[in-house]
Chains A and B, each alone.
Chain A
Amino acid sequence: MKSFRSMAYPYIAWSMVLIVLPMLLIVIYAFTNEGNSVLNIRFTLENFARFFSDRVFFDVLKRSFFIAVMTTLICIILGYPLAYIIARMKPKSQIIMVLTVTIPTWINMLVRTYAWRGLLEKTGLINSILSLAGIGPIQFLETSFAVILGMVYNFLPFMVLQIYNSLSKMDRSYIEAASDLGADKVQAFLRVTLPLSLPGVISGITLVFLPAVSSFFIPKLLGGGKYVLIGNVIENQFLTSGDWGFGSAISLIMAIVIIISMQITKRLDRDTSSEGGKL
């Protein structure tokens, strides 16, 4: 059996170089500032101090967080009913609807996001339809609305599919049992269906919040050059100003924000599901 085990060794070596080492580099650079060379390592917290002493960066972090939270909330509000409706359809319609939701995600995000520019432009399709009704033209592009719309558009399928998965796995007899025990439809939903589907919502939140908080091409394409999120700052540090130390520090801060948010969501899940257990 040893010969088969060794089949995994090359990948272990490969993952050390291409997965672990880059992560270590980010941490090392975040705490150094001796130009872009690994050889002169000098420990410093300057990069972090710079981030937190400058209001501009802090505002960018706040804005990114706000946009990501809004996107996630809207995805839950739109995605939950959609997933719920799909899960209650006939099996054949379920397959078709799941495909309908999945297909757009296979198509390049950049292509789909760019299309929204044509739709939202002042001379674009939506404004010309609105002008028939005597409204507009409305400035959609370069607003938070456009950025959130672009994110909801790109990430909503992930939320729908996750919630659908947990709803469709659910045993329908639980609901029947609840109504036999005297629960009305609303009670049965709130106390049985909702708590049982929460794991799906939580993994949906992960799949939406994570790319939303770090996205940099959606704000750039739909928010214009002035609309800066944390991802754009990181991009600039690496590709324009070449300050790897500062860029790495910002990435670390972003990672910490993500980890903390995920922990909070998981805790909320644990609290509510323990409550939901008592019928």
Chain B
Amino acid sequence: MSMQDTPDDAVGRRHDDRSLRERIGAALRSRVALGVALLLTLVVFWILGQRNGASLSDLLSLTVWGIMLGGIISLGAIGLTLVYGVLKFPNFAHGALVTLGAYGAFTIASFLPRGPVLLPFSFGWELLAAMVLAMPAVSLVALVVDRVLFRPLRQRDASLVLLAMASLAAAFFLRSSIYLIWGPDFLFYYPGRANPALHLPLGIRIQADQIFVFVLAMILVALTWLLLERTRMGKAMRATADNPDLAQVRGINTERVIAWTWVLGASLAAAGGVMYGLASQLRPEMGFWLLLPMFAAAIMGGLGNPVGAIVGAVIIGIAQQVSSSFINPAYGPGVAFVLLVIVLVLQPQGLFGKGGD
């Protein structure tokens, strides 16, 4: 879709009578400049890492882990960007859907018979089944929240701020439900089960689970892309995101499109939560911590643009992981935030966003 966007370098070539300062400002705010700035940031992170004594294979491993992390972030970011596109508000409750997916799968898996470990991975079929079941469960929660909270606001044409505020309320409601049901302690899908790293060429160390997470994320992303590009409902989603009024005029039942958007977004969020939980552990705040990277990825890719969100997520994943070679890993979300600020300052429309110049 908007991937065909030609980068807007016409700004520089256009015959113009603006002052040099204005022209430099405009050039700095173009999409190319944003891409270059993001790339430079990654390069700087690499150099900083090397200065701090990280070896080349360490940095390569970190980069690969970053791509894996990007896969997880992208699952959340796609949902965020779709909801943003179709419903036109930042959904602060999206992180809570991620958490809910992880915990929901935990509970579902505990009811399923435990199968053999699928070597070289650390999990069995039951976790995959639990994930598949958690996706509709979380979708249902999202639909209920929409029906109770967002739909009345939508019908009243409520302002963006009120919708954002409502999503904040939903976020805290879901988070407190998670605390109430599962408690504040960390949980593990498979406590104590190790997943030793595989040794790949170039000295890259990586866990089989991480590869699985990435591959699964990419499969889901590809399916989402197919859905959006090839199916009637997917095209209707894009149409509604593009122009909600016209979508109504064309006879598209926008409430149904919105419902499917929630289902898609929540399912991907739930899957992302399970993978995040598999890669680390289950914490009630895990989704909230992902919220900032997800928003950063969605904005970086251009709000409403799923393909952009994936690119943004991978950039942010790499930046977060590589940055841990020279600063405290706890600052991961902070790194996402810095990238977000770069995007907002240079080009708030993001790398592939529509409109603006």
Same assembly: no
Chain B residues near A (Cβ < 8 Å): none
